[in-house]
Amino acid sequence: SLKIALVYGTVCGGVIHLLAQPLCAWLYPGTEVAKHLKLYSLLIPMLYCDAIVDAMVKGLGQQTASVRYNIFTSAMDVALLFVLLPRFGLHGYFCSFFVTHFINFCLSLRRLLGVSGYALSPRQPLLTLLAAAASMAGAALATNSFVRAFGFLGIFFSLLCLLGVVKKEDFQWAKTLVQGK
């Protein structure tokens, strides 16, 4: 479901954001890769949700709409890169990447909601993102990157439970996945 994609994407994005510096220092010493990885990590929740929504749209027999959206946003990406890349470099690329993926996600989500008849409440996504922001702020108090990452996870899941985003049924569902039943 979208909730699982959002929570999973937020966990991955948060951990990558918090571990960007040590990972990049280890993999790419002496470079500025970490600041770019931190920036792109903020898009991971949207990218996970986009992948799930796109799969649902295709699963509901709307492959033509999906292809149309992908062609449209790819053409938009080329146009934006033509304009932004020479002038703004990697920042122009990031802007183009964000805008085109966000538009693709919005178009696919609108199609999914229209075809399925499902009404999406903004409550859970907003609470999830607020919990992520609060968790990042709380985890930032730690001095070690790995402690920050584990602190983020603990605070994030605690807040999700307290805010009612993750419920007992979600844990039971996850347990059946792990147990294979």
DSSP 106-141: HHHHHHHHHHH-PPPPSHHHHHHHHHHHHHHHHHTT
Alpha carbons 34 and 116: distance in angstroms, whole number? 40
CA–chain centroid gap for 85, Å, is 24
| Residue 155, token pair as written in the block | 């605070």
Alpha carbons 53 and 47: distance in angstroms, whole number? 10
Tell me the DSSP string of 23-73: HHHHHSTTSSHHHHHHHHHTTHHHHHHHHHHHHHHHHTT-HHHHHHHHHHH
- Residue 90's pLDDT is 93
- Residue 3's pLDDT is 82
Query: For residue 17, which phi and psi values (nearest 5 degrees)?
Result: -60, -45
Query: For residue 30, which phi and psi values (nearest 5 degrees)?
Result: 75, 15
Over the chain (181 residues), what is each successive 10-residue block's mean pLDDT? 85 92 88 90 94 94 95 97 96 96 96 91 91 93 89 94 89 82 59
Give residue 33's identity as a one-letter amino acid code.
V
Contact 124, 133 (CB under 8 A): no
Give residue 56's identity as a one-letter amino acid code.
M
- Residue 181's pLDDT is 59
